[in-house]
């Protein structure tokens, strides 16, 4: 059974999200516990799915991945959604993918340049055989990252 998170759990999530490489002792110091209960809480949150993975935030521009788009995709029909999802999970250019309420999807695509994006459309998206229409929205700049989400402030700010 998944245990509901308390304020200390949420504080630990905030800390880990800001710095996934932080030492256990530093987390314990910040939340006012010893390392053993902090470790137990982290293991529980990993097991329960609150923490999905640990990773690094990569500077895509440094890697030459400067062309970012949101691709709005409409399928031929809702019955193709599962097949489309399966194919998209294998597209390394797609960073994020969302299914909307109908048979439409939003794909966040990152590639080197406009030519690489055109190749993605021709070689991958169209080859699914499931797309009836799509729209490209070229991103100008990123000014807020998902990494700034703070679970503790969000959970407690909406409680009355």
Domain boundaries of the chain, sorted by first residue: 7-56, 60-138
Q: How far apart are CA 2 and CA 11, in angstroms?
A: 18
Please state which CATH number belongs to domain 60-138. Answer: 3.30.70.920
Decide whether 7-56 matches 60-138 in CATH topology.
Answer: no
Q: How far apart are CA 43 and CA 141, in angstroms?
A: 37
- What is the pLDDT averaged over residues 73-98? 96
pLDDT band for 69, please (50, 70, 90 cuts).
very high
Please state which CATH number belongs to domain 7-56. Answer: 1.10.10.10
Which pLDDT value is given to residue 121? 97
Backbone φ and ψ for 154, nearest 5 degrees, come out as -70, -45
Which pLDDT value is given to residue 160? 46
- The answer to whether the predicted template modeling score (pTM) of the entire model surpasses 0.95 is no
């Amino acid at each position: 059974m998944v245990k509901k998170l308390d304020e200390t759990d949420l504080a630990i999530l905030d800390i880990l999200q800001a710095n996934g490489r932080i030492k256990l002792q530093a987390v314990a110091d910040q939340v006012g516990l010893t390392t053993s209960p902090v470790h137990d809480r982290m293991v529980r949150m990993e097991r329960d799915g609150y923490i999905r993975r640990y990773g690094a935030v990569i500077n895509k521009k440094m890697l030459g991945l400067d062309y970012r788009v949101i691709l709005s995709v409409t399928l031929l029909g809702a019955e193709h959604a599962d097949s489309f999802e399966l194919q998209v999970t294998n597209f390394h250019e797609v960073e994020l993918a969302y299914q909307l309420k109908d048979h439409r999807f939003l794909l966040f695509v990152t590639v080197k340049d406009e030519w690489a994006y055109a190749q993605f459309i021709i070689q991958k998206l169209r080859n699914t055989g499931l797309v009836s229409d799509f729209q490209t929205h070229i991103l100008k700049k990123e000014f807020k990252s998902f990494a700034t989400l703070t679970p503790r402030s969000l959970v407690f700010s909406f409680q009355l």
